[in-house]
Chains A and B, each alone.
Chain A
């Protein structure tokens, strides 16, 4: 693997993604945690661009950073969870050991023997990829994914109504 701009971008975006993730799970002030979450998701959008999926990168920025991270910011402020928690972690070392052991298991047990030693899909089979226009056609064409698309919109509607019903103040008159 030669060192070029793509390699550099991959390293930078990976470090941004993983560093943001570590910030999310370790910071004391959860408001900063939401900022770290945005950083991590932004790095993930960069990785999507490297994987030639620009539409998914745009959706990542719009939906995750623009909507979900803001939702988390609201939740942090509404629950006053910044000031009310003196203890950050439960069973810190046991859980850190479990997560580290799981990572070692994944890398040494699955990724290394299947995808590093055996180079069946080491590199892309072709440089011709489907574009955003193909994705749009596939989502609404009759022999494509129109039924899952409709089910997904139904799921979003149900989730929105459910969220409103669950979080509504019970003192309100119906």
Chain B
């Protein structure tokens, strides 16, 4: 079997790749895609911990399934906001949506 820490290292690497995307991408859609990567890494962590420490419970799987739901809701609302911002300001760059800035 693969030791647990290898899964944790893969998940940490994917999380940091996603974090870089969230911080550095200019495009709002790219930022949301990077957020999906981060959520996916967290899901890998949850499933790995479930498999290695409490495989006799269903809690870990249920938690991972709810994370799918949250990721789907986040993607739908986030993309709707980006499309709305694009329609009003003709830009997908998050820094340019600064109407509320004082």
A interface residue numbers (CB < 8 A to B): 1, 6-7, 10, 14, 17-18, 21-22, 24-25, 30, 33-34, 37, 40-41, 44, 47-48, 50-53, 55-56, 59-60, 63-64, 67-68, 71-72, 74-76, 78-79, 81, 84-85, 87-92, 95-96, 98-100, 102-103, 106-107, 111-112, 115-116, 121-130, 134-135, 138-139, 144-145, 148, 152, 155-156, 158-160, 162-164, 166-167, 169
Interchain nearest-CB distance for A91 vs B (Å): 7
Contact status of A107 and B9, CB under 8 A, knowing A85-B93, A139-B65, A167-B84: yes
Partner of A24, one of B12, B37, B80: B37
Tell me if A130 and B58 are in contact (CB < 8 A).
Answer: yes
Interchain nearest-CB distance for A23 vs B (Å): 10
Which size bracket describes the interface of B in this complex? 35 or more
Closest to A82 in B: B27
CA distance A88 to B65 in the complex (A): 33
Partner of B24, one of A37, A96, A121, A134: A96
